[in-house]
Amino acid sequence: MFKRVAAWRKRSAHTNDPCWLPQPCLHNRARPPGMIASPQPVILPMANSAITMLALDLDGTLAVADHRILPRTRDALAELHGEGVEVVIATGRRYRTTTWVMENLGFDVFAICNGGALVKHPNRSTLHADEFGRDRLRQIVTLARESGFTILVQQDSPGLRGPDFLVDNALAWNPHVERYVATNRQWATSADLMDPPRHCLLAATFDDEARVRAFAGRLHDSFPAELNTVIVPDYQKRGWYCEITKVSVTKWTGLLQVAGGLGHGPHQICAVGDQMNDMSMVSAATHGVAMGNAVPELKAAARVVCGHNDADGLLDVVRYIRTHNG
C-alpha cells in the first residue's frame, strides 16, 4: 500500500545546489540565517542521521490565506522533494480541505489528516483510519448534551462524496457552530449523534475558550487516559475549537505510519508546526521546528525556531535540512 506511484528519486549532490550552505547546523554550532535555537535544546540519539522526511502542518505553517502557498516556499519544497526528501502534510484539517492546499504544491504527497486519525496516499486512497467506537461516541455525546455542547463528528468520505461531518441536532447551535456549518454547509449534515455513523475519526466542539477548556476537563475526568483533546482558536479566530480523538491518535502516530511504510526512521523526520496540535510531532521528532508565529509552548518544545509562515519562514527549514544533510 505504501509503494509510491512513481519510482523513488535519487538525492542530488548538495554541492551542485546554489542554495547549499556548507556549515553544520546543530544546537551549539552555526545555523542557517533565520534559525534560532529553542530555549532548552535537547540533543537526541541519532541526531546526525540524514533527514529524509519533512512533515508540515498547514494553517500557520505551509498555508497562507485562501489555501495558498507562497511561490518561493512552493518552489523550494518542490526542489527539496525532488532531491529525495519526502514532503508530507500533517494537519488537523479534514481531507477535503487538505487537498485545497495540496493542489497548490505541484507534486503529490502523503497526507496525515484529522489530527493523525486519517492517512491518505498520494493517489487519494486511504492507508489508515483510526476510528472511534460507536459506544464511546455515544458516551461523549451524552456528556456534551448534559454540559450544553454541540458535538460534531468527522468521517473519511469515500472518494470525497457525502458529508465530511455530522452535527448533533439535540441542542440549539451556538454562534461558533453556526458559523462553521454555514461555511461548510455543502459538506455537513445535521443528525442525532446518539446513533452515530460507523466510521467516525474524531469528535469536536466549538465555544468560548473557558467553556471549551472546562468541557475538556470533564472529558478527561470521565474517560481517564482514553482521550486526547487539543484546544486551538477556530479558523476565524472568533471562538475556540476542541478536538477529541482516541488517546492513540496524534499527528506523530500518523507520521510514524507513513515513515514506517516508506522505510524512514523516526530520527530522520523533521516536523514543523505552529499550534498546540503540532506538539506531538514537534516534541517527538529529532528535528522539531516551530514557526516564528508559533505559540510559546511549541517554541519552547522545538529544537529550533524558523521565520514566520507569511514571510517564507519555511525557506529556513529547507536550508536547515540541506545543511544538516551535507
Q: Angle at Cα 56 formed by Cα 121 and Cα 3, nearest 5°?
A: 25
- Residues 117, 266, single domain; the answer is yes
Per-residue CA distances from 67 to 92, 98, 100, 130, 304 (Å): 14, 9, 6, 26, 26
Taking the C-alpha atoms of residue 301 and residue 303, their distance in angstroms, rounded to an integer, is 7
Indicate the residue among 246, 270, 305 that finishes a domain.
Answer: 246
- Residues 280, 255, single domain; the answer is yes
- Residue 254's domain spans which residues? 42-129+250-325
Of residues 119, 112, 54, 58, the one with CA closest to residue 87:
54
Of residues 272, 138, 268, 253, the one with CA closest to residue 192:
138
- Residues 138, 242, single domain; the answer is yes
CATH number of 225's domain: 3.30.1240.10
| Chain centroid offset of residue 45 CA | 24
**3-state secondary structure at position 203:** strand
Positions in the chain whose pLDDT score sits under 70: 1-47, 158-160, 236-237
Residue environment code for 279-297, b if the CB has 16+ CB neighbours within 10 A, otherwise e = bbbbbbbbbbbbbbbbbee
pLDDT value of residue 34 = 52
- Residues 48, 73, single domain; the answer is yes
- Residues 199, 256, single domain; the answer is no
Task: Specify the length of the chain in residues.
Answer: 326
pLDDT value of residue 161 = 72
| Domains in the chain, number | 2
Per-residue CA distances from 61 to 85, 153, 269, 307 (Å): 18, 25, 16, 10
CATH number of 81's domain: 3.40.50.1000
pTM: 0.83
**Residue 96 maps to a domain:** yes
Indicate the residue among 218, 246, 274 that finishes a domain.
Answer: 246
pLDDT value of residue 256 = 96
